[in-house]
Amino acid sequence: MRRITHYLYITMFAAIVLALAGCSVSAPADKEGEQATIAGVVDGDTVKVDYKGTEESVRLLLVDTPETKHPSLPVQPFGPEASAFAKETLTVGKEVRLEFDGPKRDKYDRLLAYLWVDGENFNCMLLEEGLARYAYIYDPPYTYQDSFEKAEAQAEEKGIGIWSIPGYVTEDGFESEAAASSSPEEPSDEPDRDCSDFDSHEQAQAFFESEGGPETDPHDLDRNNDGLACESI
């Protein structure tokens, strides 16, 4: 009886661990992933890499982050955060691996791939952090679709990132009206600040957002209007 009870506890514990695990994705073997080097970050879901002697744009498979550089759209909530997360994780010169799953290029001739960094699937990391939605499922089934769906569902349940704004995430992208209805608080009566008042970019970014950024920038901390404050710190 004790042995049965012990087995049941172990089974229940394993089930809980699996339920809590957002993206149980294993890194590919060498033969499944192709080596590349980060050359730059365009935004949260697009990066530049040196791949087989050529600089290529890579559009991350199955994820969509809010816009920061769209020619006809404003900077969207959590777009700057997704870009900052990508820049922090995918530093220039970092070795990564690309894994393809279906068509290798999109209509813009960008590579379509999962990006592995330090043994972690970066596409899935975006979903786990609430910085991307699971999207562009054109040619299923995909290798990691179950894990990606689970990671997205858990971020939504936690209400983090893009999921913190009711109605913001839709099947077609991100709803501007929902973001506007959940607009930041009115700017405070803080005295005028500049970048020299902060010790780090993170500190400046937090103040910038608390004062209404990126929609408003009363302290002129975002000089190039990319949604990021005091990037030079």
pLDDT of residue 109: 97
pLDDT of residue 29: 62
Three-class DSSP category at 151: helix
> Does residue 96 contact residue 89 with C-beta atoms inside 8 Å?
no
Supply the mean pLDDT for the chain.
85
pLDDT of residue 209: 82
Q: Is 80 exceeded by the pLDDT of residue 2?
A: no
This prediction's pTM: 0.70
> Does residue 126 contact residue 62 with C-beta atoms inside 8 Å?
no
Beta-bridge partners for 43 = 46
Nearest by Cα to 229 from 208, 199, 200: 208
- Report the distance separating Cα 217 and Cα 223, nearest Å: 9
pLDDT of residue 218: 84
Catalytic residue annotation: 59, 67, 110
Q: Is 50 exceeded by the pLDDT of residue 111?
A: yes
- What is the number of other CB atoms lying within 10 angstroms of the CB of residue 103? 11
